[in-house]
Chains A and B, each alone.
Chain A
Amino acid sequence: MTLQQELVPNAPAKLAVEEVSKTFRTGKRVVHALERVSLQVSEGEFVCLVGPSGCGKSTLLNIIAGLEQPDGGRILSDGVPVSEPGRDRMVMFQEHALFPWLDVMGNLMFSLRLKPNLKDSERREVAMYYLHLVGLERFQHANIHELSGGMKQRIALARALAPNPKILLMDEPFASLDALTREQLYGDIQRIWQERKKTIVFVTHNVREAACLGDRVVLFSPNPGRVQEEFGIDLPRLRDINSPELAVYSTKIMRALKGHLSTQEELAE
């Protein structure tokens, strides 16, 4: 594979979640994290999964990534069943998960070195391309602890993009950042998504964030984890998290979320 081919975005993948179930046992308690969840994500779609904690949205993301195995059902990436982690599906975690024993370039090279058929000089060029994409090429030799929280997540994004995955899985990647940094990253991620044409599954508990980023927002309900409702977000890009049009959508989703929570409380009583 040549460098030029490497830098052309891979065609985004179609993702199918078919009747996926997962239960956890802690002592005598059994938690139904996911119960027969099905979901279709089309090529290049940006889907946000929202819901209260314990609704299984992160578990589903891990199963799609191949980091956990479902008890039932299956995941298809472009029609191929997923059984283990793969470079076609890269993950960005809430904690940046960058390796402290490597510098910024070393972190990007870690994933690229695992890709065969490239020369090291080409890998370096690919790494620089993605550092440029997230605006941090000046920091290629920086150590991880020297970066701010937002910069760390940008580097984590570059590292996840570097192997040219078809699907990007994001697990509350902005949750630990301050509001201002987060807003910048909302812009960045939308721009990069349009440029690099990825299929993105984005997990968050922040409804407004979900409405800002997603083509579609999938609302999960807990105990057992299920898809409660889906919302198409029909707004032009790039979207501003503070726009009133967006507030209309987020209010609607929030109402659905709260409505579900209150019925849960009634059931509990």
Chain B
Amino acid sequence: MSTLKIAHENKCIGCELCVMGCQRQLARAGLAGSYIRILRDIKEGDKFKVSLDPKVAELKLKKLVEICPRGVFEGQEANEA
């Protein structure tokens, strides 16, 4: 089973490259319907929450792990186990 884990949420800088990468794998651009969402804390502008939809496991996780410049994610695809 493929899994993507938020390993270091505190490192997220809100660049949304993971959101773009997720949407690209679904052949679209935009924010709606992304299996990864980045939620900003407007009270503390340097804090972010990362939200994962379980459907993210359907995607190529290695690409999502690699596109994050901060190493927020850890993941394993079924065929890599």
A and B, one complex?
A: no
List the interface of chain B (C-beta within 8 A of A): none
List the interface of chain A (C-beta within 8 A of B): none
